[in-house]
Amino acid sequence: METAFHMSLPCLNIEDTKSFYINNIGASLGRTSENWVDINLFGHQLTFIQAEKFNFNSPNYVFEGKMLPSFHFGVIVDVEQWGELYAKLNHLNLKVVTQTTFLKDKTGEHLSFFIKDSNDYMLEFKSFKDATEMFNV
């Protein structure tokens, strides 16, 4: 699998965001919900999360019952790389957050975990069960 970039950002309006990226940039629409949207930007996954005036002091949202950071970026890797990274980072005693499978038995099922970097940015590592579903609706 070729690696793809993933970045999650807050947005003020999902519809305006979709319109900008699809109609102006020419990106394609991926998975979407009432509160977030995935955009396929040249093969890279941008996730926009509905937020009111964004406050970096409480940048969280709930997805499948888990509290997640709405401001984060990451890398999508194959399952072998994901497992190696997860084991390595745990072995280094770095704080791994929210290791789980999201969208279990649904389109877009993926393993995910987050870690904080030295600047307190949240970094996510994802591995899709089926890499072709990264942008599927």
What domains sit in the chain, N to C, each tagged with a CATH number?
4-133 (3.10.180.10)
Q: Which of 23-27, 37-41, 115-119, 127-131 has the lowest mean pLDDT?
A: 115-119
pTM of the model: 0.65
Q: What is the pLDDT of residues 50-93, one digit of tens each?
A: 887 666 665 676 777 877 776 777 788 899 989 998 888 888 87
- Average pLDDT of the chain? 83
Contact 96, 124 (CB under 8 A): no
Q: CA–CA distance from 124 to each of 35, 72, 78, 80, 113 (Å)?
A: 19, 7, 14, 16, 6
Q: CA–CA distance from 72 to each of 10, 15, 68, 88, 102 (Å)?
A: 10, 21, 9, 21, 16
Contact 115, 95 (CB under 8 A): yes
